[in-house]
Structure 1
Amino acid sequence: MKEDPTAIWLQAGYDLFAATGPAGLKVEVLARRVGISKSSFYHHFADLEVFIGQLLRCHVGRARQLARREAACGSLDPELITVLLEHRTDLLFQRQLRVHRRHGPYAECLAEASGPAAEAFLALWARELPSHLAPHLLGGVFQLALENFYLQLTEATLTREWLSAYFGQLTQLVRALSAGGAPALDGGG
């Protein structure tokens, strides 16, 4: 079976967007990365806007796959951390969407891609916590922690050690809130 000729362009664009955001998406750069002429790009995508639309749809599909894998995890550490590390490019792509969410298509993609993964994480986290926090409070803490997570996330910080420390601190925070305290969440050291 013949491979989809657009797949190589989309993979290169996905990796580039994850690393540099939309400013890095240039047809010339993509053509150099894939080793194919720019005219091939325009043959398949017409223009960069069409390409970005397909890239965003690709991300939603990958985010749904990540959410399914998250939902199958039995623990934050090591199972979820292992899954997240296997999907590092997806997380970095998601981070770029968050950074550029003022741009309509990125905001729409972010909203569509975030829901299932957030639900899967919250369900896993709630199972691991002996917390008496109401679900809406747990959800509120999660939203704050998620923003904090993506603010700190880089290629360099996305390691098993950092994720383990981050989730450990997040769990301590929720336990402290349940007990009436509130330690600072500093992002895993």
Structure 2
Amino acid sequence: MKEDPTAIWLQTGYALFAATGPDGLKVEVLARKVGISKSSFYHHFADLEVFTRQLLRYHVGQARLLARREAACESLDPGLITVLLEHRTDLLFQRQLRVHRRHGPYAECLAEASGPAAEAFLALWARELPSHLTPHLLGGVFQLALENFYLQLTDATLTREWLSAYFRQLTQLVRTLSTGGAPALDGSG
């Protein structure tokens, strides 16, 4: 069965956006990667703006899938880590949205895509890490950790080892905060 050309364009564009951000999303580059002429692109999409809107809708769908898979996890490690690694491109796409969130459509997509995954992660985190922190404070720690996560996230850092170490450090931070201690700021925690 022949693959749908629209799907091929979208999958290739999705991976390209995840790797290079919106500045790297060029019809010429896409056509070269897909191995199909630029005219095919314009046959399926009126222009790059229409294509980008479809990519953003596709990402929201991927984010919802990721959230469902996160919600089914029973542990951070290995459960959630395995799911995150399987959704590597989705995470890198989400990172690009965060980096470029000053652009209206990216900010809207980021907001829509972030909610369900954040809820699923917080539920897992709360189950795995009983804490004396109020839900509000735990949510604040999560938002800071999420921002830090995406600042550090690259194709090279997105490994099982890095994710495991990141979640260990995050867990230690929450435990320290829960007991009223001050977290180590020298990176030794």
TM over 0.5: yes
1:187 positional shift: 8.2
Instruction: Say which SS state the counterpart of residue 132 (structure 1) adopts.
Output: coil
- The aligned residue for residue 72 of structure 2 is 72
- The aligned residue for residue 136 of structure 2 is 136
In 1, the alpha carbon distance for the partners of 2:127 and 2:161 equals 22
Q: Structure 1 residues 183, 159: CA separation in 2 closer, same or farther (over 3 Å shift)?
A: same
In 1, the alpha carbon distance for the partners of 2:151 and 2:172 equals 20
1:162 positional shift: 0.5
- Given that 1:94 and 1:110 are in contact with CA atoms closer than 8 Å, whether structure 2 keeps it comes out as yes
In 2, the alpha carbon distance for the partners of 1:153 and 1:187 equals 17
- CA-based RMSD: 1.6
CA deviation digits over 1:9-28, x for unaligned, max 9?
Answer: 00110000000000000000
Instruction: Say which SS state the counterpart of residue 131 (structure 1) adopts.
Output: coil
Instruction: Say which SS state the counterpart of residue 185 (structure 1) adopts.
Output: coil
Moved over 3 A (4+): 184-189
In 2, the alpha carbon distance for the partners of 1:166 and 1:67 equals 19
- The aligned residue for residue 146 of structure 2 is 146
Structure 1 gap segments, 5+ residues each = none
- Given that 1:63 and 1:114 are in contact with CA atoms closer than 8 Å, whether structure 2 keeps it comes out as yes
Q: Structure 1 residues 87, 188: CA separation in 2 closer, same or farther (over 3 Å shift)?
A: farther
In 2, the alpha carbon distance for the partners of 1:135 and 1:66 equals 23
In 1, the alpha carbon distance for the partners of 2:31 and 2:20 equals 16
Which segment drifts farther, 56-65 or 1-10?
Answer: 1-10
- The aligned residue for residue 31 of structure 2 is 31
Q: Structure 1 residues 102, 28: CA separation in 2 closer, same or farther (over 3 Å shift)?
A: same
In 2, the alpha carbon distance for the partners of 1:54 and 1:21 equals 15
CA deviation digits over 1:65-110, x for unaligned, max 9?
Answer: 0000000000000000000000000000000000000000000000
Instruction: Say which SS state the counterpart of residue 6 (structure 1) adopts.
Output: helix
- The aligned residue for residue 124 of structure 1 is 124
1:181 positional shift: 1.4
In 1, the alpha carbon distance for the partners of 2:69 and 2:31 equals 33
CA deviation digits over 1:103-149, x for unaligned, max 9?
Answer: 00000000000000000000000001121111111000000000000
- Given that 1:152 and 1:187 are in contact with CA atoms closer than 8 Å, whether structure 2 keeps it comes out as no
1:183 positional shift: 1.6
Which segment drifts farther, 122-131 or 2-11?
Answer: 2-11
Q: Structure 1 residues 8, 186: CA separation in 2 closer, same or farther (over 3 Å shift)?
A: farther
1:4 positional shift: 2.8
- Tell me the percent identity: 91
